[in-house]
């Protein structure tokens, strides 16, 4: 199987996924086919290139309608057929049109226990709210903002004395593990979705 | 110190608190002064009576304005001065007027990781949403719906095969522990609230 990764920024989750792949932790992933960014200055692009992964940049032009930008996204990846698209810090909500091209084949990682704190800077939202527990979520992507069926979640404690950055880092460490785990589950088909609930068939060896 | 408990239903959390008190697990609580219900048929009333705790029932009359009902609540408890009011399945949002009579002295237990799933039947909401992790929260009460500063939270996993009732029970087990822990913290003054964040000073012996 082949996977593609969408990013918008530093690409640390993308980096963790590529490392997992290089370390042989995916039983069915033959290739990370591309890393695509919608920001020309995304620091993750250099990381991907350093791993030898093809990089694509499709920045949204000023005033460009979403549909047009998405058409160019599709155009950019058409020669890289993939079985799974992983949104790893990709800061756009994809349209039903785009999603319909990859039904059930797009996952996203989000740094909170959804449905709490959707949208941008979830860690800061959680910090300001004063929660004791936050975490991260991998979910299938639908047209809602961070609202698709949940595949995996991991709780992370906020500790007394934590800064926002401490919390962000502690969550990020778990994101790296959770996203690779999710990719292994999806690419091996070990899940069933029913009524928004994603049942994961656990690997008896793990 | 004296505490009062407000309930609306089965009173299982109230029951757990009274048992903790009887078992000597509160270092500063001399008395559970009363259990008050806003429902005449609350099953918890019989449990409280069985423990020898005075019970009060102040049902809201048909069409009665909230302020009037709250005035009767205050009237009912005026002869039972308490240092802390514990909402344990009490299904009403208290007005700023009521709250101002007990500033910072009312806590509530809620069966979700707030701010996710406020309001009624949080366990069912979480189940239907398809979360992998829910939990429970003890928070200070303000005029918002389940929105005051968070004192303690505990994460609880939803397992594959769980029914709503399984999840409810697993959360409830943790609620019982969390609420008693919260009462001990508040009645011993081992906390500080700043910018919505509640820092708990941990007991070095525990």
Q: What is the pLDDT of residues A29-79, one digit of tens each?
A: 999 999 999 999 999 999 999 999 999 999 999 999 999 999 999 999 999
DSSP state letters, chain A: -EEEEEESS--HHHHHHHHHHHTT--SS--EEEEEEESSTT-THHHHHHHTT--EEE-PPPTT--HHHHHHHHHHHHTTS--SEEEESS---PPPHHHHHTSTT-EEEEESSSTTSS-SS-HHHHHHHHT-SEEEEEEEE--SSSS-SPEEEEEEEEPPTT--HHHHHHHHHHHHHHHHHHHHHHHHTT-EEEETTEEEE---TT-
| In chain B, % of residues over pLDDT 70 | 98
- How much is the average pLDDT of B141-158? 94
Name B81's Cβ contacts closer than 8 Å, sequence gap at least 6: B2, B33
Which phi and psi (to 5°) does residue A140 adopt? Answer: -70, 150
User: Who among B129, B152, B200 is closest to A115 (CB)?
Assistant: B129
- The 3-state secondary structure of B38-91 reads CCCCCCHHHHHHHCCCCEEECCCCCCCCHHHHHHHHHHHHCCCCCCEEEECCCC
Query: In which residue are the tokens 């979480």 written?
Result: B126
Interatomic CA distance for residues B183 and B176, integer angstroms: 11
Give the model confidence (pLDDT) of B167-197 as tens digits: 999 999 999 999 999 999 999 999 999 989 9
| Chain A nearest C-alpha distance from B137 (Å) | 9
- The per-residue pLDDT for A204 is 60
Least confident range of A98-102, A144-148, B18-22, B78-82 = A144-148
Among the residues of chain B, which ranges form H helices?
A: 12-22, 44-50, 66-77, 96-100, 122-129, 164-187
Q: Could you give the 3-state DSSP secondary structure of residue B122?
A: helix
- Partnered with residue A137 across adjacent β-strands are A110, A153
Give the model confidence (pLDDT) of B95-141 as tens digits: 999 999 999 999 999 999 999 999 999 999 999 999 999 999 999 99
- The per-residue pLDDT for B204 is 60
Best interface-test mutation with A: which of B191, B197, B198 has the largest number of A CBs within 10 A?
B197
Which phi and psi (to 5°) does residue A115 adopt? Answer: -85, 5
Torsion of CA A61, A66, A69, A72, to 10 degrees: -170
Contact between B2 and B81 (Cβ < 8 Å): yes
Average pLDDT, chain A: 95
Is the predicted pLDDT of residue A125 greater than 70, yes or no?
A: yes
- The per-residue pLDDT for A205 is 53
| Catalytic choice (A69, A110, A139, A176) | A110
The residue extents of the domains of chain A are 2-200
Q: Does residue A51 carry a catalytic annotation?
A: no
Class of domain A2-200: alpha beta
Best interface-test mutation with B: which of A113, A129, A132, A137 has the largest number of B CBs within 10 A?
A132
- How much is the average pLDDT of A151-160? 97
Torsion of CA A14, A19, A20, A22, to 10 degrees: 130
Is the predicted pLDDT of residue B202 greater than 90, yes or no?
A: no
User: Who among B130, B160, B195 is closest to A149 (CB)?
Assistant: B130
Higher pLDDT, B14 or B202: B14
Interatomic CA distance for residues B158 and B151, integer angstroms: 23
The structure's pTM equals 0.94
- The per-residue pLDDT for B203 is 65
| In chain A, % of residues over pLDDT 90 | 95
| Chain B nearest C-alpha distance from A2 (Å) | 27
Average pLDDT, chain B: 95
Is the link from the previous residue into B159 a cis peptide, with omega within 30 of 0?
no
| Chain A nearest C-alpha distance from B31 (Å) | 29
| In chain A, % of residues over pLDDT 70 | 98
From edge to edge, which strands make up the β-sheet containing B31-37?
A: B55-57, B31-37, B2-7, B84-87, B106-110, B133-140, B150-157, B197-200, B191-194
């Amino acid at each position: 199987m082949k996977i593609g990764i969408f990013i918008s920024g530093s690409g640390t989750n993308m980096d963790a996924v590529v490392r997992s792949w290089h370390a042989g932790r995916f039983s069915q992933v033959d290739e990370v086919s591309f890393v695509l960014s919608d920001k020309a200055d995304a620091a993750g692009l250099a990381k991907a290139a350093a791993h030898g992964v093809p990089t694509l940049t499709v920045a949204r032009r000023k005033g460009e309608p979403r549909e047009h930008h998405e058409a160019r996204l599709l155009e950019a990846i058409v020669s890289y057929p993939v079985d799974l698209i992983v949104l790893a810090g990709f800061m756009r909500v994809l349209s039903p049109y785009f999603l319909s091209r990859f039904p059930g084949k797009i996952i996203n990682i989000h740094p909170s226990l959804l449905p709490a704190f959707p949208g941008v800077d979830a860690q800061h939202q959680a910090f300001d709210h004063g929660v004791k527990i936050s975490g991260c979520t991998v979910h299938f992507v639908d047209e809602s903002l961070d609202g698709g069926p949940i595949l995996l979640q991991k709780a992370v404690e906020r500790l007394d004395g934590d800064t926002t950055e401490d919390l962000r880092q502690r969550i990020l460490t778990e994101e790296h593990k959770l996203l690779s785990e999710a990719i292994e589950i999806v690419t091996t088909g070990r899940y069933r979705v029913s009524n928004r609930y994603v049942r994961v068939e656990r690997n008896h060896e793990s």
